[in-house]
Structure 1
Amino acid sequence: MNGAFSIGATGLRAQERALGITANNIANMNTPAFKRSSVRFSELMGPGGGAAGGVSALEAATVFAQGDLRVTGQPLDVAVDGEGFIEVLGADGRSLLWRGGTLSVGADGLLATADGLPLHAMIRIPEGADRLTIASDGAVAAVLAGDTTPTELGRIDLQKVDDPSELTPLGGGLYRTTGEARAAFATGEEGLGVLVQGAIEGANVALSNEMVALMLMQRAYAASAQALQAGDQLMAIANGLRR
């Protein structure tokens, strides 16, 4: 096969993958606590160990930079201002990590995510409780029926992940840990940040950066297409000489 065909084809495939990642970033600009992904490219080796084999798009890496905090004033909205995660229980009972969002109170009274996944801390809100507060250190309190002073109901501890790049995103600000990404309880004093009640963390996606990336992809895609076209023209010339 003409080398131009191989180089052009790998380039087109790489830019197609990069385009899908960038499109996903843009589509989730308004998703609370969404973390953008960044594609990494690798040069392919050509025949004989040469560097003329084209380019390949590697697996996308999640960028865990902090998103802007948007104040909502809603008592059940909570954001993590820092690098920590909130542990929740998945539908299968396994622990998941959550970057925060809108909480809900389940039928059993347990604090849960908006999708109904209970917090690992298993904090129960008694019926009739009022004025729910979540302190920066995670202490949850409310004024119980018949009382006038708040009662502490539990604490939301942040978790530390030693290698966030190994987390598997599940959507909705949820992540699953792997064997390489071990999580452990830690405090805000250890650099994990604090909880902010009445706020939502926005996506860490900057539209201007994503549009620049799209323009670069467009030019790279066009260059790969031209390589294919040049290869086709060379094959046409070669076939003409054979006649």
Structure 2
Amino acid sequence: MDKLIYTAMTGARHLLEQQATVSNNLANVSTTGFRAQLDTFRAVPVQSDGGLPTRTFVVDNTVGADFRSGPIMTTGRALDVAVRGDGWIAVQAADGSEAYTRNGSFKVSENGLLQTTSGQTIQGEGGPIAIPPDSDIAIAGDGTVSVISTGQTKPGPANILGRIKLVNPPAQQLSRGADGLFRQNSGQPADFDPKVSLVSGALEGSNVSAVDSMVNMIQLGRQFEMQMSLLKNAENNAAKATQLLALS
């Protein structure tokens, strides 16, 4: 009886947390470069002083993220890029640390810095990339950023401003932060990887499947109802046992 209550109670609790994870994935089904979050269960025995570990409870063990690539959609916009295959774009997070994203929708800030649309500064091989005013921007497949001045009567030659830092650390060494960006578990910046390439004029969509997420929501709802039924059965069994003891 005691084992049943612990298992059903903690199972129901973490099923609700998994529903929140699936809901977050569904909310980001159209977010550029989003990686779906994955969760799983594991059983842990309850340790007590002087007692045997006869009771178990369930914890939600976060596996990490689904690192499969999303669909690439052509936009034709010069400041849109998609990472081809494996790899990441290095950005500067709000706390100043280096982080990684697959969101290749860029903009030029008021200070002339190349940034993501959410405000993170793009990291180049030598630091942030500054874009001069009145310029047409082109981003090559290897991450090289070049501009052509449009402030003159006759366009001038293309000037190379820098190269976007593209990295490809092992997936098991990456973890998602509260800001949605990925970082290395060691806290150290990843090395530049020349094998990572970009697709210009395109964006990578989310790798979340709306259909699969909806099916998971239904399955989690049914599992939650099952845990509630187990708790109800435990309550009924305890009531009947109390009646039998009272008669004896």
Instruction: Please indicate the TM-score interval, normalised by the length of the shorter structure.
Output: 0.7 to 0.9
- Pick one of 97, 105, 110 that aligns with 1:107: 110
User: Which ranges in structure 2 are unaligned for 5 or more consecutive residues?
Assistant: none
5 Å-filtered alignment, 1:110-189, equals: 110-121=113-124, 122-130=128-136, 132-144=137-149, 145-146=151-152, 147-164=155-172, 166-171=174-179, 174-179=181-186, 183-188=190-195
Deviation of residue 49 (structure 1)? 5.6
Deviation of residue 229 (structure 1)? 0.8
How many residues are matched?
236
2:202 counterpart residue number: 199
For the residues of structure 2 that align with 1:88 and 1:136, how far apart are their CA atoms?
18
Q: Compared with structure 1, are the counterparts of its residues 54 and 94 closer, same or farther at alpha carbon in structure 2 (3 Å cutoff)? A: closer
5 Å-filtered alignment, 1:63-102, equals: 63-102=66-105
1:159 is matched by which residue type in structure 2?
Answer: V
TM-score by length of 2: 0.85
**Percent identity between the aligned chains?**
30
- Superposed CA offset, 1:117-149 (max 9, x none): 22221222111112x111111111121243343
C-alpha contact 2:36 2:207 (8 A) present in aligned 1 = yes
Deviates more, 1:217-226 or 1:23-32: 217-226
TM-score by length of 1: 0.87
For the residues of structure 1 that align with 2:114 and 2:200, how far apart are their CA atoms?
14
1:231 counterpart residue number: 234
User: Which ranges in structure 1 are unaligned for 5 or more consecutive residues?
Assistant: none
- Superposed CA offset, 1:168-203 (max 9, x none): 23445x223331776211112xxx3x2122211111
Deviation of residue 164 (structure 1)? 4.4
CA-based RMSD: 2.3
4+ aligned runs moved over 4 Å, structure 1: 46-50
- Superposed CA offset, 1:39-91 (max 9, x none): 111134478566x7354321251111101111111111222122211112223
Deviation of residue 27 (structure 1)? 0.9
